[in-house]
Structure 1
Amino acid sequence: MTKVPIMLAEDHVVVRESIRKFLESEDDLLVVGEAGDGERAVEMAKELHPKVIIMDIDMPKLNGIEATRKIRELCPGTAVLILTAYDYDQYVIALLEAGAAGYLLKDVSGRELIKATKAVSQGETVLHPSIAGKVTKHLRSHKSNNGETVESLTQREMEVLHLAAAGLKNKEIASQLFVSIRTVEAHLGKIFSKLGVTSRTEAILTALNFGLLSLDQILKEDVQKVHRR
């Protein structure tokens, strides 16, 4: 069995030990490194290229926001999952725009953390319920772009983007469109490239900014998703 390599970036040793214990209770997860500050987290990410980094915000030397931004630039194949006690709006939006794949608060259970870790390792976006509300609020107040342009998306890419914006996982999108998961992943890769982003959340924010998506469309698709279940 191939294990998902995970790195921890957290300055409290006791917290790191607890997270490691939860994660390694799963046969398919393996913690390959631990960093106690932001600068070390960036260095270790370059050395280890983990599939997932679980990152705190408040760390010595380099905070989690800047560390996430640097890691996403240097290691685009690494997903950063934020695990923090802070839910300030400015932190949430800054981290998602920096490329974080998920944002959890430290009141989540070990089982929820494991589920989120596996989800972001597969290219999904995971948001704590209270964080999702903040993102929706931000989307509602998001301003139009300043005359910039992006490369046009194909009809199929727009379909994938709509479904991703509604929160469907890659497997669900594949089933909805009658294509393989690899095909969905390929479409998402092209969407990210055309929009100049590295994560689903960035893609949604950018698409809204350029008028490719509307919040009404997202909410409508989300309702339809609920009815399909």
Structure 2
Amino acid sequence: MIRVLIADDQRVVREGLSMVLALMEGVEVVGTATDGAEAVTLARTVRPDVVLMDLRMPRCDGVEATRRLRTEAPEVRVVVLTTYSDDRSVLDAVRAGARGYLTKDAGGEQIHEALRQVVDDHAVIDPAVQRHLVDAIAGEPAPRPGFPDGLTPREAEVLSLMAGGLSNAEIASRLTVSEATVKSHVNHLFAKIGARDRAQAVAYAFRHDLSVP
């Protein structure tokens, strides 16, 4: 049984969705909320599998409610169900943690399938809004270059060479610096990434794509 919480500030929508969902096999409506804040509070109490979340609501909108749920009840999946399909709305909802995004033009079977998909840990984006998501991402400025955990370019380079299997002496030769300088870089980067030994540092390098190609 998929337990669903409905969050929408319009009573007619809440009641209409409740009636539609009640006809679906394997679906149970466990509560309704009139805004995002109430949705978060109810979700902590009734622990639904899925929240059908409107975006534009008073006090706390759907994006902020989704963001809170990701922190306070991460096991709860959010499927946005809204009239808004503009680029920014789609991107904000997905970034907040929504696992699905449907417009209110969606039919009952489409909603039912979305519920099943997100419970199985799949993402569901209405084909009608997929283009908006792609356009929004394409319009984002390119990320500024940098390294994780405050690593300097030189520390990242040392870590990369370490992941490539080079010893401190070999790294020093490659970079034309003293072995003492390399040891200093190694100590600093260990402290920044929380590594106790070279094995942990190498694992970190591969996780963050800092290994030598």
- TM-score (ref. length: structure 2): 0.66
Aligned equivalents of 1:145, 1:121: Cα separation in 2? 35
Q: CA deviation at 1:84?
A: 0.4
Pick aligned residue for 2:61 from 45, 60, 63? 63
Paired residue for 1:123?
A: 121
Structure 2 CA distance for aligned equivalents of residues 104 and 136 of structure 1:
15
> How far 1:45 sits from its partner (Å)?
1.1
**Which residue number corresponds to residue 106 of structure 1?**
104
SS state of the match for residue 90, structure 1? Answer: helix
| Contact 2:88–2:136, Cα closer than 8 Å, also in 1 | no
- Measured in 2, the distance between the counterparts of 1:33 and 1:94 equals 25
CA distance in 1, matches of 2:106, 2:3: 21
Q: Counterparts in 2 of 1:36-55, with a 5 A limit?
A: 36-55=34-53
2:133 to 132, 135, 146: 135
How many Å apart are 1:145 and its aligned residue?
A: 4.8
Q: Residues of 2 paired with 1:149 and 1:130: CA distance?
A: 36
Deviations 1:191-216 (A, max 9, x none): xxxxxxxxxxxxxxxxxxx88xxxxx
For 1:22-41, what aligned pairs fall within 5 Å after superposition?
Answer: 22-41=20-39
The separation in 2 between residues aligned to 1:124 and 1:23, in whole angstroms, is: 20
CA RMSD, Structure 1 to Structure 2 (Å): 2.0
Unaligned runs of 5+ in 2: 150-207
Shift of 1:136: 1.8
The residue number in structure 2 matching 1:86 is 84
CA distance in structure 2 between the partners assigned to 1:114 and 1:98 by the alignment: 22
The percentage of counterpart residues that share the same residue type is: 33
Which residue number in structure 2 is paired with residue 16 of structure 1? Answer: 14
Answer whether contact 1:22 1:114 (CA < 8 A) is retained.
no
Q: Secondary structure at the match of 2:98?
A: coil
Q: 2: CA distance between counterparts of 1:101 and 1:80?
A: 6
Structure 2 letter corresponding to 1:17: E
- SS of 2:148's partner is coil
Amino acid at match of 1:62: C
Cα deviation, residue 4, structure 1: 1.1
What per-residue deviation string (whole Å, max 9, x for no partner) do you get for residues 92-124 of structure 1? Answer: 111100000011111111111111111111111
- Decide whether the 8 Å contact of 2:2 with 2:115 is kept in 1: no
